[in-house]
Amino acid sequence: MDTQRQTSIIQALVSAAESGKQQLAILVDPDKFDPASANEFLKRIPKQTTHLFVGGSEVPKDATAGTVASLRSAGLPIVLFPGDYDQLTNAADAVLFLSLYSGDNPEYLIGQQRKATSFLRHSTLEVIPTAYLLIDGGNQSAVARVTQTQALSQDNVDTVVEVALAAQYCGARCVYLEAGSGALKPVRPEIISAVRAAINLPLIVGGGIRSEAQMKTAYDAGANLLVMGTVFENHNR
Ligand code: 1GP
């Protein structure tokens, strides 16, 4: 086993978080992406992009590998962000191994994870245990619809902190606060700063971030890595 490769992306995330470096992942949803447009797409994403995430809530089986291959010329780490275990492919470098700790649907707490093992046990992917917390973004998110779970309220900071800490004690290596793709309201800075103060893991924040000002707000509150998707799909940034 190549131990270096197995741990490199999460170790780099931890180091970047500890040194206060701001990281940025651009999310590509294979369901909404034409691999033939990859070069044009890569030209218009921000220069400070540190990762490409690939995944979505409703991706056709076998669509992911071609998308990943089309993005390789960027020379960035490619991390799967799968809505379903059938999106796993060795074409990528790593997978956010998500557990939807904000919800109570066993399929997304341990069911999908079990189904992923027959692939992962023979895979070259770096597996990154990730606590995934869905936060109310002001509209119905695809995550809520597909997983049949409810988002945590933006008004109850203590509950979000409780869930994030429980996930850390369960062994998560990073925490992802998700307002949902296309959220009307990104995760509030009060939530980001409270979670940042409680946990000692890299903190990923995404959903509804469209502007430099929103990015700054989230970084200033303590986010280590921001995820942006929709704004680059729509060509309107
Ligand atoms: C969704 O957090 C990501 O999973 C990105 O959200 O598409 O709203 O940027 P947006």
Given the CA of residue 209, which atom of ligand 1 is nearest to it? 9
218 lines ligand 1 (CB under 6 A): no
CA distance linking residue 6 with residue 14, whole number of Å: 14
Angle between helices 189-198 and 157-170 (to 10 degrees): 40
Checking if the pLDDT of 6 tops 80, the result is: no
Strands (E), 5-93: 23-28, 51-54, 78-80
CA distance linking residue 37 with residue 216, whole number of Å: 29
Q: How far is CA 118 from CA 60, 94, 122, 145, 152, in A?
A: 20, 16, 7, 27, 32
103 lines ligand 1 (CB under 6 A): no
Q: How far is CA 122 from CA 45, 61, 88, 119, 181, in A?
A: 33, 19, 12, 6, 31
Q: How much is the pLDDT for 61?
A: 87
Angle between helices 212-221 and 189-198 (to 10 degrees): 30
Which residues in 150-179 are b (16+ Cβ under 10 Å) and which e? ebbebeebeebbebbeebbeeebbbbbbbb
209 lines ligand 1 (CB under 6 A): yes
Q: What is the CATH number of domain 3-233?
A: 3.20.20.390
Positive or negative CA dihedral for 120, 126, 127, 131?
Answer: negative
What are the pLDDT digits (tens) for 109-120? 999 999 999 999
The whole-model pTM stands at: 0.95
What is the full DSSP assignment across 126-172? EEEEEEEEEB--SS--HHHHHHT-PPBPTT-HHHHHHHHHHHHHHT-
32, 174, 185, 227, best to mutate for ligand 1 pocket (most atoms within 8 Å of CB): 227
181 lines ligand 1 (CB under 6 A): yes
Tokens of 175: 């925490």
What are the pLDDT digits (tens) for 51-92? 999 999 999 989 999 999 999 999 999 999 999 999 999 999
What are the pLDDT digits (tens) for 9-38? 999 999 999 999 999 999 999 999 999 999
Instruction: Considering only CA atoms, give the Rg of the chain.
Output: 16
Tokens of 125: 């992917």
227 lines ligand 1 (CB under 6 A): yes
225 lines ligand 1 (CB under 6 A): no
Using DSSP, state whether 205 is helix, strand or coil: strand
Give residue limits of the domains in the chain.
3-233
186 lines ligand 1 (CB under 6 A): no
Using DSSP, state whether 174 is helix, strand or coil: strand
Instruction: Tell me the average pLDDT across 155-161.
Output: 98
CA distance linking residue 234 with residue 148, whole number of Å: 27
192 lines ligand 1 (CB under 6 A): no
Task: Round the average pLDDT of the chain to a whole number and report it.
Answer: 95
Token pair 């218009």 is at which residue? 44
54 lines ligand 1 (CB under 6 A): no
177, 181, 232, best to mutate for ligand 1 pocket (most atoms within 8 Å of CB): 181
Cα(205) to ligand 1 centroid in Å equals 9
Nearest CA to ligand 1 atom 4: 181
